[in-house]
Structure 1
Amino acid sequence: MAARMTRRPVVLLLLAAAILAVAVQPAAATLHPVDYLALQAVRRALSDLPGSGFFASWDFTGDPCGFAGVSCSGDGRVVTLALGDPRAGAPGLSGAFPSAALARLSALSSLSLVPGRVSGGLSSAVAALPSLRFLALSGNLISGNLPGAFSPALRTVDLSKNSFSGRIPSSLLHIRSLRTLVLSHNSLSGEIPKTVSSPLVHLDLRNNRLSGGVPPLPMTVVYLSLAGNRLSGRVGGVLRRLTRLSFLDLGGNWFSGEVPGEVFSFRIGYLQLRKNAFSGELRPAGRLPSGATVDLSHNALSGRVPAELASAAAVYLNGNKFAGAVPAEIVAAAEGGRMRVLFLQDNFLTGISMRGVPSNAAVCAHWNCVAPPPTVVAACPAKGGRGRRRPPAQCGGRRG
């Protein structure tokens, strides 16, 4: 009896000790200590902008794997880090980009940062994390050169709308798994690397300071934007191979030569070649998909307007050297409302027969070798002109 009573306090004491141990055990014990310290360093480096409450859940007396934006693997390593409130219009974060801390998250596979005011540089130690598949830091103030090394596992890289400068590292375009590369709206300069072996589907380099020509690109490309650079030369040989293109924007460069007719036969919904030096006649090899947008304005294209453009919903041919009459197919598309925008102003056209267009259409044809019909003048936006025609001396033997 006495022995049983002696054992009971011992059992109760052990049970109380076990309960106490569980109660005081920090929830973060499931997270690897290196990752735990790295997240603390991230929190010290970054702050919510006014109106953002992203870091409200980052209470280190709890389990960091339950923090907003943090996902962990079964063995307690951080695998996903999405910094900032992802809702549209939500304020972002500020502070210095915590490269040293992030580089310690060795199992990280996805790193993203919402638009905000985070500054500093992106180190190779972060970009080359061995398991990193997704890297998106768009819309911040990150600057300096792009890293010289990147993870071989990367599938998506979006560093757009920052302040990166220098050249595009050739290593970035040799990642065998890379499908999406967005470097737009930076200050990158120099030439696009001569060899692109990544199986890219989406390539966006617009609004930088890139120069030189366009190298051969993989046939996997569906979306291509190189607009707003200083690129030059002929691109026909490159574009003819990209039969999967659905979006093409080369506007605002110094490209020259003919527009390859093959691009009109692709399943392309947006074709933007404005403000270049393309010349010669348009010879489409097929019709564009119904509802496409075609902007070939402000080039030096000549010859007749091709009837194959009639399937498009918006056509911008202004600021070229087109001559002759507007094809009946295009006139019918505009009159029937299937073509909502038709800009023909500042050319050398001699025939524009249009009875009327819907009230929601925009059709312009001033400054040609024939006065545009009153219905077209009425449908032209104010910035499109006032219906004037070219002086006869500019039209040579052309008749209107």
Structure 2
Amino acid sequence: MSANFGVTFGICLVVLLFQCGVPSHAMLNPIDFLALQSIRRSLRDLPGSNYFSAWDFTSDPCKFPGVFCDADRVVALNLGDPRAGSPGLTGRLDPAISKLSALAEFTVVPGRVFGSLPQTLSRLRFLRFLAISRNYLTGEIPATIGQLRGLRTLDLSFNQLAGSIPPSIGTLPALSNLILCHNRLTGSIPPFSSRTLTRMDLKHNDLSGSLPVHGLPPSLQYLSLSWNRLSGPVDRAVSRLNRLNYIDLSLNRFTGPIPACLFTFPISNLQLQRNQFAGTVQPVQPVRIQTVDLSYNTLSGHVSAMFSSVENLYLNNNRFTGEVPRSVVEQLLAGSIRILYLQHNYLTGIVGINPTVQIPLRSSLCLQYNCMVLPLHASSCPLKAGTRKTRPMSQCREWKG
């Protein structure tokens, strides 16, 4: 018996049940009914999960948990128990999903679903929301996903996907959320043309290359690219992103200066640590960002007084010189600055701190391994700062030139 004959026979059987007055599936299109059966056969509950126990095909599938219908078609399919801590499902995603031609939303709860994404997903022309996170998907992201022109959210995070991000995804006109973090993706970040893209989370992959200069849309509000191998300057790519309220570029290989405009964005955390940024850092106005982390770069010059309004300031492990400004010290002593990490630089002094000054208990100051005699109350350092109090004078003389 050919495969096509089997499918035709199955559809005829379901239609016959309709005609015989059996109420069990009378609400659902026969093609969708058979597709749900195929999906059910390809997946099973993990121990402790009872999600599929209610999938009894002698009753109306539109009343199954996770199945939502409009008239006689399935429009949303949420596979697995959505409660936090649920064991989830295991098995593979059956290509029959593409038979649910009216599907607008498809999700799979965290579990152990493995294998590749079906290429046939591209046939779901009404799909708006696709989220399969925290499973064990492997293989590459199908380039055919770029055919889902109405797709708004693509979340494939916390899987084992490899290969590059298909350039076709960058052409999706309605894309708002792209979440591909914690995979094994390689290659460069493609340019994105969507004017509605607000969230891009690509952290914890193996992406490389530079940021696309005109490929990050100004609509972005959340940008996380940490823990990759991205390189090159960032000034031209990020200067247009003035709607950002979160940015994390840490643990990459970015070079060049830190754009001054970043310090004016409406963000609460600026994470640029562990890169290869160089040059001076001179914000043009007081920095109204709660946490600024520029540690472990090769930044130089004086510490800017514009940082006195930052609550948690990490400038350690750079090449800063000169004295710590009085305005920064005053805010530290007032308790407005909670963390001031300046260790492993070439600083020569700190204005306004003497042996009688008490630093608030809730504040931490670390000045270890600089070119100065440490104040008595500057020992709130993390363990990784080491035990050496000051730099060798030979290094200090060499750095001063």
What TM-score does the superposition give when structure 1 sets the normalisation length?
0.88
User: Structure 1 residue 54: deviation in Å?
Assistant: 1.9
In structure 2, relative to structure 1, the CA distance for the partners of 1:57 and 1:372 (3 Å cut) is: farther
Q: 1:102 aligns with which of 89, 97, 104?
A: 97
Question: Residue 77 of structure 2: which of 68, 76, 81 is its match?
Answer: 81
SS in 2 for 1:132: coil
**Aligned-pair CA distance for 1:315:** 1.4
Q: 1:22 to 1:265 in 2, by over 3 A?
A: same
Residue aligning to 2:3: none
Which residue is 1:12 aligned to?
Answer: none
- One-letter identity of the residue aligned with 2:321: A
CA shift for structure 1 position 68:
1.4
Hey, what's the Cα distance between the residues in 2 that align with 1:102 and 1:125? 8
In the TM superposition, residue 359 of structure 1 has moved relative to its aligned partner by 2.7
| Aligned equivalent of 1:18 | none
5+ residue gaps in structure 1? Answer: 1-20
CA gap of 1:373–1:185, structure 2 versus 1, over 3 A, is same
Q: Post-superposition shift, 1:301?
A: 0.1
Deviation at 1:127, TM superposition (A): 4.3
| TM-fit CA distance, 1:245 | 1.1
Post-superposition offset of 1:369:
0.8
Which residue is equivalent to 1:10?
none
Moved more, 102-111 or 21-30: 21-30
SS at match of 1:243: coil
Q: Within 1, Cα distance between the matches of 2:90 and 2:224? A: 30
Matches within 5 A, 1:79-228: 79-98=75-94, 100-150=95-145, 151-193=148-190, 195-199=191-195, 200-215=197-212, 216=214, 217-228=216-227
Deviation of 1:312 after TM superposition, in Å, equals 2.0
1:56 matched to 2:58: no
Contact 2:93/2:118, CA 8 A, preserved across alignment:
no
In structure 2, the partner of 1:294 is 292
Supply the AA of the counterpart residue of 1:192: I
SS at 1:228's partner residue?
A: coil
- Counterpart position of 2:304: 306
CA, structure 1 residues 331+91, in 2 after alignment: closer, same or farther (shift >3 Å)?
A: farther
Contact persistence 1:350–1:398 (CA under 8 A): no
Deviations 1:290-330 (A, max 9, x none): 5x211111100001111222222211111100111112222
Aligned counterpart in structure 2 of residue 363 of structure 1, from 365, 368, 385: 365
Change over 3 Å in CA distance of 1:128–1:329 after alignment to 2:
farther
Distance in 1 (CA, whole Å) between partners of 2:45 and 2:374 is: 57
Query: Where in structure 1 do 4 or more consecutive aligned residues deviate above 6 Å?
Result: 21-24
Contact 2:101/2:123, CA 8 A, preserved across alignment: no
Alignment check: 8 A CA contact 2:62 2:69 kept: yes
Q: Distance in 2 between matches of 1:336 and 1:156?
A: 45
Give the drift of 1:25: 2.2
| Deviation per residue, 1:347-371 (Å, 9 max, x gap) | 0111234433333333322111113
User: In structure 1, what is the Cα distance between the partners aligned to 2:385 and 2:61?
Assistant: 58
Amino acid at match of 1:122: L
CA contact (8 A) 1:128 1:152 kept: no
Paired with 2:115 and 2:137, the residues of 1 have a C-alpha distance of: 5
Question: What is the CA-CA distance between 1:90 and the residue it aligns to?
Answer: 2.1
AA aligned to 1:112 is T
**TM-score of the two chains, using structure 2 as the length reference:** 0.88
Provide the rounded CA distance (Å) in 2 between the counterparts of 1:369 and 1:301.
Answer: 16
1:100-129: CA deviation from partner (whole Å, max 9, x where unpaired): 121111111011111111001112321451
1:60 and 1:339, CA in 2 relative to 1: closer, same or farther beyond 3 A?
A: farther
For 2:361 and 2:50, locate their aligned partners in 1 and report how far apart those are by CA, in whole Å. Answer: 47
Q: Secondary structure of the residue that 1:288 maps to in structure 2?
A: coil
Change beyond 3 A, Cα 1:396–1:142 = same
**Amino acid of the residue matched to residue 118 of structure 2?**
S
Paired-residue identity, %: 46
Summarize the Cα distance change of 1:24–1:332 in structure 2 as closer, same or farther, 3 Å threshold.
farther
2:204 is matched by which residue type in structure 1? N
The 10-residue stretch of structure 1 (100-109 or 387-396) with the greater mean CA deviation from structure 2: 387-396
The structure-2 alpha-carbon separation of the partners of 1:312 and 1:342, relative to structure 1 and needing over 3 Å to count, comes to: same
Mark the runs of 5 or more structure 2 residues left unpaired by the alignment. 1-17
Alpha-carbon displacement from aligned partner over 1:362-397 (angstroms, at most 9, x marks no partner):
3322111113322220x2233434461111111118
Deviation at 1:182, TM superposition (A): 0.9
CA distance in 1, matches of 2:303, 2:272: 16
Question: How far apart, in 2, do the equivalents of 1:317 and 1:127 lie?
Answer: 47
State the one-letter code of the partner of 1:311.
S
Deviation of 1:159 after TM superposition, in Å, equals 0.7
What is the one-letter code of the residue matched to 2:247? L
Aligned AA (2:155): D
Deviation at 1:60, TM superposition (A): 1.9
Offset at residue 252 of structure 1 (A):
1.3
